């Protein structure tokens, strides 16, 4: 075959490629239209019966030289690309997505900002136990320049026989102590019926990992005007996590902080496996501030410092950590909380690299 002949054939191939590009994009446009109709009708995007029909039609009209199996394999990829296109459109629709709102959301808590580039620490005991216990921790948090005090009053414990928290009484202690030190309060609420009353005591509502899929709780938090810190579920994908945040925002509350707190894997060296890549992915895909809970993700005091450094280095808007005056006798999470000396050292070490951290 002469070079001229080869060039001519290649020109034909180039033309066909361009035709295919055009045809595939025409097809994609129709797929998009179908996606819109399906969305309006609330119909599932995946339609295996329809896909089977298209495959059969292709087989019926295939006269070679390509094998039917080869063609069907290629078309499977085309179908998949179409579904992905519909999914992209769906994601663009999410209120929490950056596609929907390109600029970062900044959450205001009693005049303090979260998500504006300043990195923050939320610290406090796992559970509120008694006034003096919270007071000792709040004093340390304040001395280290912290602005937000945590403490659980409604505890989602694995065993129903373990300490369940002091309930509203605990919230009152937390709020009273925090106000003495001019700190904001964050605490977990587990029952949708408690949300309204709790807003009298907390500045940020925490929704815990075990409740990330509690859609009624998410909606109720979404009906308040309090910021919500939403933790990632123990086995939630990032897409599920973002959709949980969407439940809150869909009710009108856009003040949401996402918190990666580790997921359950086969690894037992840490309590959970911190998914550090979740931080840049959530920052990229959503406009919400992202925190990392260094305590519950690791369950290990000895690695809190490098983990916190990793979280701050990768761009988290802040970290959460548990501190107790005497962790050995704590009523929950006794093995993972820092004592006050350890907390002071922890913050001082972090400030060597991150002097702006508060
Ligand atoms: C907590 O922060 O008190 C807590 C229970 O954490 P998580 O929901 O992440 O387990
Ligand atoms: Mn805890």
Per residue in 129-150, pLDDT (tens digit) is 999 999 999 999 999 999 999 9
Q: Are residues 258 and 194 in the same domain?
A: yes
Q: Are residues 74 and 117 in the same domain?
A: no
Surrounding residues of ion ligand 2, Cβ less than 5 A: 126, 333
Ligand nearest to the CA of 231: 1
* Average pLDDT for the chain: 96
Query: Which of 93, 119, 148 delimits the end of a domain?
Result: 93
Query: What is the CB < 6 Å shell around ligand 1?
Result: 126, 152, 156, 188, 208-210, 231, 261, 293, 296
pLDDT digits (tens, 9 = 90+) for 265-308: 999 999 999 999 999 999 999 999 999 999 999 999 999 999 99
Query: Which of 68, 93, 118 delimits the end of a domain?
Result: 93
229 found inside a domain: yes
Spell out, as residue ranges, where the chain has pLDDT lower than 50. none
What spacing in Å lies between the alpha carbon of 42 and ligand 2's midpoint? 40
102 found inside a domain: no
Q: Which of 137, 162, 217, 261 to mutate to test the pocket of ligand 1 (most atoms within 8 A of CB)?
A: 261
Q: What is the pLDDT of residue 89?
A: 67
Residue whose CA is closest, atom 5 of ligand 1? Answer: 208
Ligand nearest to the CA of 152: 1
Number of domains composing the chain:
2
99 found inside a domain: no
What spacing in Å lies between the alpha carbon of 104 and ligand 1's midpoint? 25
Cα dihedral: 261, 265, 268, 269 (round 10)? -60
Q: Which of 125, 152, 190 to mutate to test the pocket of ligand 1 (most atoms within 8 A of CB)?
A: 152
Q: Angle at Cα 145 formed by Cα 144 and Cα 147, nearest 5°?
A: 120
Q: What is the ipTM of this complex?
A: 0.99
Q: Which of 121, 156, 299, 331 to mutate to test the pocket of ligand 1 (most atoms within 8 A of CB)?
A: 156
Residue whose CA is closest, atom 10 of ligand 1? Answer: 209
Residue whose CA is closest, atom 9 of ligand 1? Answer: 209
Ligand 1 atom closest to 211 (CA): 8
100 found inside a domain: no
Read off the CATH number of the domain in which 175 is found. Answer: 3.20.20.70
Q: Are residues 199 and 68 in the same domain?
A: no
358 found inside a domain: no
Q: What is the pLDDT of residue 119?
A: 98
Q: Are residues 321 and 190 in the same domain?
A: yes
Residue whose CA is closest, atom 4 of ligand 1? Answer: 208
Q: What is the pLDDT of residue 307?
A: 98
244 found inside a domain: yes
Q: Which of 122, 129, 208 to mutate to test the pocket of ligand 1 (most atoms within 8 A of CB)?
A: 208
Query: Which of 93, 124, 158 delimits the end of a domain?
Result: 93
98 found inside a domain: no
Q: Are residues 73 and 111 in the same domain?
A: no
176 found inside a domain: yes
The whole-model pTM stands at: 0.80
Domain limits for position 41: 3-93
């Amino acid at each position: 075959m002469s070079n001229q002949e080869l060039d001519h054939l290649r020109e034909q191939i180039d033309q066909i490629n361009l035709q295919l590009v055009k045809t595939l994009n025409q097809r994609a446009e129709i797929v998009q239209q179908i996606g819109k109709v399906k969305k309006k009708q609330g119909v599932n995007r995946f339609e295996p019966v329809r896909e089977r029909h298209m495959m059969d039609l292709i087989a019926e009209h295939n006269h070679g030289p390509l094998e039917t199996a080869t063609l069907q394999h290629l078309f499977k990829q085309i179908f998949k690309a179409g579904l992905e296109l519909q999914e992209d459109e769906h994601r663009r629709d999410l209120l929490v997505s950056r596609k929907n709102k390109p600029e970062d959301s900044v959450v205001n808590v009693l005049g303090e900002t979260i998500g504006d580039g300043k990195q923050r620490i939320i610290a406090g005991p796992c559970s509120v136990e008694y006034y003096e216990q919270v007071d000792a921790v709040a004093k340390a948090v304040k001395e280290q320049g912290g602005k937000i005090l945590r403490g659980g009053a409604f505890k989602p414990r694995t065993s129903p026989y373990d300490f369940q928290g002091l309930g509203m009484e605990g919230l009152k202690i937390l709020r009273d102590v925090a106000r003495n030190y001019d700190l904001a309060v964050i605490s977990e609420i587990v029952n949708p019926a408690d949300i309204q009353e709790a807003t009298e005591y907390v500045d940020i509502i925490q929704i815990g990992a075990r409740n990330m899929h509690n859609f009624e709780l998410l909606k109720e938090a979404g009906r308040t005007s309090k910021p919500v810190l939403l933790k990632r579920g123990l086995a939630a994908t990032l897409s599920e996590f973002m959709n949980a945040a969407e439940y809150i925002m869909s009710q009108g509350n856009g003040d949401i902080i996402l918190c990666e707190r580790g997921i359950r894997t086969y690894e037992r060296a840490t309590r959970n496996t911190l998914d550090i890549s979740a931080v840049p992915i959530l920052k990229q895909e959503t406009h919400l501030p992202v925190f990392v809970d260094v305590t519950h993700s690791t369950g290990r005091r000895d690695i809190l410092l490098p983990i916190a450094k990793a979280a701050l280095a990768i761009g988290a808007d802040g970290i959460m950590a548990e501190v107790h005056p005497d962790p050995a006798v704590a009523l929950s999470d006794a093995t993972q909380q820092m004592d006050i000396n350890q907390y002071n050292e922890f913050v001082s070490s972090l400030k060597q690299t991150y002097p702006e951290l508060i």
